Structure 1
Amino acid sequence: MVEVEHVVLAVDAQRDAGAVAQVWAWAWAWAWAFGWACLFGRDRGLP
């Protein structure tokens, strides 16, 4: 039973790590897109 529990914990940890990585990827992509929009918007005289 110990081995089975260890595998379940490993799977849970991997799933949590994947969720965290996905959130970071989304946040980074939004920040990157927002930064470029601000940069080009400033060049074109937009607020």
Structure 2
Amino acid sequence: MPAVHAAVDQLVDEGLVRLSWKGRKLVTRAGPYRIGRCVRRRRQHHVTEAR
């Protein structure tokens, strides 16, 4: 499990996942936790048609 914990810590540091437990956000991995994806808002590119 140390390899899994290290991987989770790295993903959290990179902002790719977030941790929570029973609906509460966790800043660091401690005790039981759930892993969730961080949802990043995508930039919307408006394409204008050439006339």
TM-score higher than 0.5? no
**Alignment TM-score, normalising by the size of structure 1:** 0.34
- Select the structure of larger CA radius of gyration: 1
Q: Which has the higher contact order (CA 8 A, sep 6+)?
A: 2
Structure ranking higher in helix proportion: 1
Structure with the higher fraction of residues in strand conformation: 2
